[in-house]
């Protein structure tokens, strides 16, 4: 029988999500990888317990996380039923719809039909009455933004979600849908975007500054650049690495000599800070207070503990930031 750690809130940092009343942990657990039908249930459950025991209250899913589609939600639903449901009011559970989910014209993109049906399916898989945050997973140029925004607004009013979010929207797309949400009074609180030392798109397109200035939370995914921003590849490619076992997201050609030189240089700065490279890369994302939460993925509980350990040192000196910019610029 699982009993949560009494000290789970002692060291985690919680940040207000935009101008809402919702606080998110500085570190959230994403179930994109390692929670599908090809993963071991005991390890998945142990990772969720370790996360919650460490103060991670936010668990982030999507309808098609797997493999197979829906498997991550089903497995998380099993974990909730076995051990975490008693803590439901301490959890923030999010899911998304917007990518391919089922055959035909109604299982993809941003129509009201798809978004409503997908959430109903997600709730059934997880055994929930509602999710805390429901995201549109990607912009849809062929569906009127008014329809997508209206569908999300209606979902909140139905009681099936408390807040809405968007994912992968750039600054201009965010402004367009945020204006509609404002007019409808929809509790739109967050945009989920990729961000890391190696991917500064949200800085270049202005989304990071815009969100901070307009009370919109930002949660970032791929903070370790699919594992590049760790010490895992400094001395070659391990046989059990994601490149060897699943080359869909990180390919061997990404590990050129220039990239490895950058990783090694960043690793030296991390050592000087008393951190692992992964810890420093996560801390850098939180350095200025503009990012609400950073989404981590994990394949074992020890990785979660290591990632959360970075919270003891999230401050950077001007000299450190300058060195990092020289390396990554």
Measured over all CA atoms, what is the biggest interatomic distance in the chain, rounded to whole angstroms?
54
In a domain, 8, yes or no: no
Which of these ranges, 57-66, 242-251, 314-323, has the smallest mean pLDDT? 242-251
User: Which pLDDT does position 255 carry in this prediction?
Assistant: 65
Q: Classify residue 86: in a domain, yes or no.
A: yes
pLDDT at 288 over 70: yes
Q: Is the pLDDT of residue 251 over 60?
A: no
Q: How many domains does the chain have?
A: 1
pLDDT for 234:
80
pLDDT at 243: 58
Question: Which residues have C-beta within 8 Å of that of residue 16, sequence separation ≥ 6?
Answer: 22, 23, 217, 292
127 is a domain residue: yes
Angle between helix axes 301-308 and 277-285 (nearest 10 degrees) is 60
* 259 is a domain residue: no
Backbone torsions φ then ψ of 69, nearest 5 degrees: -50, 135
Query: pTM of the prediction?
Result: 0.94
Q: What is the pLDDT of residue 253?
A: 62
Find the CATH number of the domain harbouring 109: 3.20.20.100
pLDDT tens per residue, range 44-94: 999 999 999 999 999 999 999 999 999 999 999 999 999 999 999 999 999
- 6 lies in some domain: no
Residue 7 has pLDDT above 80, yes or no: yes
Q: What is the pLDDT of residue 114?
A: 98
**CA–CA distance, 136 with 148 (Å, rounded to integer):** 8
Residue 169 domain flag = yes
Query: Is 240 contained in some domain?
Result: no
Per the DSSP assignment, residues forming a β-bridge with 183 are none
Residue 235 lies inside a defined structural domain of this protein: no
Domain that holds residue 214: 14-226+280-315
Confidence check: pLDDT of 240 > 90: no
Percent of the chain at pLDDT exceeding 70: 94
pLDDT in tens, 206-215: 999 999 999 9
Helix (H, G, I), strand (E, B) or coil at 321: helix
Q: 177 — phi, psi (to 5°)?
A: -80, -30
pLDDT in the model for residue 258 = 86
Residue 290 has pLDDT above 70, yes or no: yes
């Amino acid at each position: 029988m699982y009993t949560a750690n009494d000290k789970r809130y002692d060291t985690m940092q919680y940040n207000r999500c935009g101008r809402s009343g919702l606080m998110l942990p500085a570190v959230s657990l994403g179930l994109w990888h390692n929670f599908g039908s090809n993963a071991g249930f005991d390890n998945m459950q142990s990772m969720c317990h370790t996360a919650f025991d460490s103060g991670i209250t936010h668990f982030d899913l999507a309808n098609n996380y797997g493999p197979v589609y829906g498997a991550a939600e089903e497995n998380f639903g099993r974990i909730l039923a076995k051990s975490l449901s008693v803590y439901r009011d301490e959890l923030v559970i999010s899911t998304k719809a917007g990518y391919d989910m089922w055959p035909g014209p109604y299982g993809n993109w941003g129509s009201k039909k798809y978004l409503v049906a997908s959430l109903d399916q997600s709730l059934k898989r997880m055994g929930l009455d509602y999710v805390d945050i429901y995201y549109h997973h990607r912009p849809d140029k062929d569906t009127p933004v008014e329809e997508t925004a209206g569908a999300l607004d209606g979902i909140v009013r139905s009681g099936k979600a408390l807040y809405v979010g968007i994912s992968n929207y750039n600054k201009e797309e965010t402004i367009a849908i945020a204006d509609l949400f404002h007019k409808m009074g929809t509790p739109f609180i967050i945009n989920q975007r990729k961000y890391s030392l190696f991917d500064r798109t949200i800085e270049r397109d202005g989304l990071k500054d815009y969100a901070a200035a307009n009370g919109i939370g930002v949660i970032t995914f791929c903070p370790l650049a699919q594992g590049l921003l760790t010490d895992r590849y400094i001395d070659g490619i391990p046989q059990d690495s994601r490149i060897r076992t699943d080359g869909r997201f990180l390919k061997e050609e990404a590990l050129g000599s220039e990239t490895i030189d950058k990783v090694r240089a960043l690793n030296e700065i991390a050592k000087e800070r008393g951190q692992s490279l992964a810890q420093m890369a996560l801390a850098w994302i939180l350095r200025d207070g503009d990012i609400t939460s950073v989404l981590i993925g994990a394949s074992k509980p020890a990785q979660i503990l290591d990632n959360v350990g970075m919270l003891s040192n999230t401050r950077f000196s001007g000299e450190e930031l300058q060195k990092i910019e020289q390396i990554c610029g």
